[in-house]
Structure 1
Amino acid sequence: MAIEITQILQDFATIMIIAAVMTIISYKLKQPLILGYIGAGIIIGPHTPPFSFISNVEVLNLFAEIGIILLLFTVGMEFPIRNLRKIGKRATIITLAEQTGTMIAGFFVGQALNMSFYDSLFMAVALSVSSTVVIMKVLEELKILREEASYLTLGILIIEDIIILSIFALLHSTTVTGNISIVEILIPIGITIAFIAGVLIIGSRTIPRLVDFVARTNQSDVLVVAVLGLAFGFAYVSNLLGISVAVGAFFAGVLIAESKSHAVTSILTTPIRDMFVALFFVSVGALMDINLIPVFIIPALILVGVTSVVKFAIVFLTSRYQGFSKITAIQTGIDLSASRGGEMSLIVAKGGIDIGVVSSFILPIIGTITLISTFLAPYLIKLGLKLADRNNNVNSESKSPNESKSAEPD
């Protein structure tokens, strides 16, 4: 036991020191901090010669899971129920359209690359979902989480996770048994809907009051323990139900956003969240075998390029059709298309391999796509902001002559 503790402490110290050095370099170079974390992961990871700086990768995976839970929990605290209801229906329509279109495009690209039917199918499903963790972290770094486009993006990301779990259940049913089981499809959908309904109906009447009751003690440590207990409790329940832990943690944050003390809660939990989120991105870098990138770079770039363009086009068009402004449509489209692959994509790819219907090379391709898109995401999202700002300035200039003309006296 003493040896295990020593190794864990050694790994933790190594991770934090190298991550600190790399993020300082990123800051000095005026680059997103995410790149520093991923770079640190690549340096310390087991796939980088001449040797691995960490002895227990499983510990890093555990820290990464905690990072996902805490990030989505704090994001949920910026997303009160009224905003969820405001964009819920429209976000669902946009999500159904863009995921369907992206899956079709991904499937045909896979076929064009001479992949088998099931390889193409699972690849298409994996690439139809964007990385919630990466996108939310970038939006937070850019300090635009409270803009309309960010609310819409987050709503779509949550719905994507729910849909992808239902599709995965369908694929698992058809590939293992050879038959389409309506029951196996409807059960995960019903459980997810029941969980969300319970959170919004019952939880909204109890959790905010509980948080405010704890806050009235004026004991910050008690408040932190209580809200983190809620975050991990909701994540645990959602995991038991077969739902992503990110969904459970997000809705725990949504409920706390309804309390009167949510601002204080957010301030108190942010430092803890930042530490574990850093570990998540370090783990992304550490688990990537950069030696495989030259092998899979061409198919990965083709898949990233096609699915990203298709996703952007569909999100932009459907957002405009649903009544969102051109600026919001541009930002949302680029936000969602910026990060292909990610945590849910890796789960889908691994699931296909586990049931024996998908080739083993699918996972490293998805890993390569995740690594490439995670590096590119901050720059693409920044580009989206610039394009939206430029479009806003053009619209303002085009309106100014009419406004000045109307201002003239008769």
Structure 2
Amino acid sequence: MHDTTALLIELGAIILALGLLGRLAGKFGFSPIPLYLLAGLAFGHGGILPLQASEEFVATGAEIGVILLLLLLGLEYSASELVTNLKTQYPSGAVDFVLNATPGAAMALLLGWGPVAAVALAGVTWISSSGVIAKVLGDLRRLGNRETPVVLSVLVLEDLSMALYLPVLTALLAGVSLAGGAVTLLIALGTVGAVLYVALRHGRLVSRAVSSDSAEMLLLVVFGLALLVSGVAQHLQVSAAVGAFLVGIALSGEVAEGAGSLLTPLRDLFAAVFFVFFGLHTDPADIPPVLMPALALAAITTLTKVATGYWAARRAGISVRGRWRAGGTLVARGEFSIVIAGLAVGVEPGIGPLATAYVLILLVLGPLAARWTEPLARRLTTRSRTGNSPDTTVPAELGEVVRANG
């Protein structure tokens, strides 16, 4: 069969299968990412029907998927929001890092993978999935809850931290010396600082330069700019993902909204290809040996994420029920964990299977944890009220207000 013919057939089958899996996930109300990963495992090395003709194209599509994921994430935030979150919520970010990065680093060292792999696995367990959590908040109709800004602040701090973490990890994986790593970190800090300064001071000018009344022109300019900056960033060892994230931050207002709506279908397509690509390069036979460590990490980091959300919401003055909801909402891991593991498989092949199993577990458990914390919190608050004032009744109208405001 001609190479082009085989390529078209394989790509068509992959994309059709992704669409069907997405519809199946939508019917049951959960994220399709676990199904995409399972599809990659089924058709990758050691799977049921390994793909050959389309592997190189899928690899390129996966790179574009990462860029679009981070670009759209950057478009969600303005530079002023990032700066405000840094000033007010940095203690929550520090607690989040200590509680959730430590288990991953400790597990890597216990498995004998070395310090570089420990840094990578720390990132895998640290970062929550912004995409999955945003969907869960919408599905559960919690976008207006008092604890939701706290959850979003933690996610923003994690996303911004990636702008510093990924360049450091990339330098470590490349075997760069201490001096070279320091230079890479300085470049990353300088780049992030410069973009934030331009976005804060001249964001309107940047948006005006990119703006266009034509949807086609806006799509081409923003997408092309993201690819260009990502390529330059990768050349400087700052990470293509960070470059795309910074492009998104630099754009604001109507331009960001318009670009976001135009690029969302592209992001969904190429992000699905990215998750399939990661699964393609993970041999299913490699997962059973790391399943117990993955389950242990999932159990530990579920508790540490709940503790993170609870502490952050308590610090913001949210009620007990809102604190539990915030903690449960943060449990899911996803795109960033897979991105980090994908970077690190060259140093420690075991990270790929471990991260795949870990993410699959928490992608399923995350939305369930977000739902289960509500009845748990209700029981806790009900028992507390009953114990403190057994003869006091709360009017129905007041109860509704309490439930709405958390």
TM range, smaller chain? 0.7 to 0.9
Counterpart Cα distance in 1 of 2:111 and 2:187: 34
AA aligned to 1:202 is: V
What is the aligned partner in structure 1 of residue 403 from structure 2?
A: none
| Residue 361 (structure 2) pairs with residue 372 (structure 1) | yes
- Give the drift of 1:232: 1.9
Q: Equivalent residue for 1:286?
A: 280
Q: What whole-Å deviation, never above 9, does each CA across 1:18-55 have from its counterpart, x for those lacking one?
A: 11222222233343333443343334333322x22453
Structure-1 separation of matches of 2:233 and 2:153 = 23
2:266 equivalent among 264, 269, 272: 272
Shift of 1:254: 2.1
- Secondary structure of the residue that 2:345 maps to in structure 1? helix
Contact residue 15 and residue 44 of structure 1 kept, 8 A = no
Q: Residue 227 of structure 1: SS of its match in structure 2? A: helix
1:134-283 alignment to 2 at 5 Å?
Answer: 134-140=129-135, 142-143=137-138, 147-165=148-166, 168=169, 181=178, 183-206=179-202, 208-213=204-209, 215-216=211-212, 218-256=213-251, 258-283=252-277
Mapping 1:7-406, distance limit 5 Å: 7-49=6-48, 51-53=49-51, 55-109=53-107, 115-116=111-112, 118-119=113-114, 122-123=117-118, 125-130=120-125, 134-140=129-135, 142-143=137-138, 147-165=148-166, 168=169, 181=178, 183-206=179-202, 208-213=204-209, 215-216=211-212, 218-256=213-251, 258-318=252-312, 320-321=314-315, 330-339=324-333, 342-347=337-342, 349-350=344-345, 352-353=347-348, 360-383=349-372
CA distance in 2: counterparts of 1:122 and 1:128, whole angstroms? 10
Q: 1:247 to 1:332 in 2, by over 3 A?
A: farther
CA distance in 2, matches of 1:389, 1:57: 50
Q: Deviations over 1:344-403 (max 9, x none)?
A: 4415643543xxxxxx54443333323333443443445467768999999999995699
- TM-score scaled by length of structure 1: 0.77
Q: What is the alpha-carbon distance in structure 1 between the residues aligned to residue 100 and residue 395 of structure 2? A: 41
Q: Is the 8 A contact 1:135 1:335 kept in 2?
A: no
Q: Which runs of 5+ in 2 are unaligned?
A: 387-391, 399-406
Task: Classify 1:323/1:47 alpha carbon distance in 2 versus 1 (closer, same or farther; 3 Å).
Answer: farther
Q: Give me the whole-angstrom Cα distance separating, in 2, the residues matched to 1:323 and 1:292.
A: 46
- SS of residue paired to 1:225: helix
Contact 2:333–2:359, Cα closer than 8 Å, also in 1: yes
Identity of aligned residues (%): 23
Amino acid in structure 1 at the alignment position of 2:26:
Y
CA distance in 2, matches of 1:386, 1:152: 24
Provide Cα deviations, 1:215-265, integer angstroms capped at 9, x if missing partner. Answer: 45x222111111112222332233233223222222222222x23433333
Change in Cα spacing, 1:347 to 1:169, as seen in structure 2 (3 Å) is same
CA contact (8 A) 2:210 2:222 kept: no
Inter-CA distance 239–120: structure 2 relative to 1 (3 Å threshold):
closer
CA contact (8 A) 1:99 1:311 kept: no
Indicate conservation of the 8 Å contact 1:67/1:280, yes or no: yes
Moved more, 22-31 or 340-349: 340-349
Q: 1:311 to 1:151 in 2, by over 3 A?
A: closer
Query: Residue 204 and residue 61 in structure 1: after superposition, are their counterparts in 2 closer, same or farther (change >3 A)?
Result: farther
C-alpha distance after superposition, 1:296-339 (max 9, x if no partner): 21122112222332343245325534667766654554444422
User: d(CA) in 2 for partners of 1:163 and 1:148?
Assistant: 23
Deviation at 1:7, TM superposition (A): 3.5
Q: 1:16 is matched by which residue type in structure 2?
A: I
Secondary structure of 1:261's match? helix
Q: Is the 8 A contact 1:72 1:133 kept in 2?
A: no
Q: Which residue does the alignment assign to 1:408?
A: none
Distance of 1:251 and 1:377 partners within structure 2: 28
Pair 1:267–1:27, CA change in 2 (3 A):
same
Cα distance in 2 between the residues matched to 1:386 and 1:338: 19
Tell me: CA distance 1:153–1:103, structure 2 relative to 1, closer, same or farther (3 Å): closer
Across the aligned residues of Structure 1 and Structure 2, the Cα RMSD in angstroms comes to: 4.0
| Partner AA of 1:81 in structure 2 | A
Cα 1:396–1:302 shift into 2, 3 Å: same
Equivalent residues of 1:130, 1:337 under 8 A apart: no
Aligned residue type for 2:7: I
Alignment-mate amino acid for residue 306 of structure 1:
I
Kindly state the Cα deviation for residue 15 of structure 1 after the two structures are TM-superposed. Answer: 0.9
Counterpart code for 1:300:
A
5+ residue gaps in structure 1?
354-359, 405-410
Post-superposition shift, 1:87?
Answer: 0.9
Contact 1:129 1:160 in 2 (8 A): no
TM-score (norm 2): 0.77
8 Å CA contact 1:71, 1:133 repeated in 2? no
Shift of 1:152: 1.3
Displacement after TM superposition at 1:145 (Å): 7.5
Are the equivalent residues in 2 in contact too, given 1:346–1:363 (CA < 8 A)?
A: yes
Aligned equivalents of 1:121, 1:251: Cα separation in 2: 26
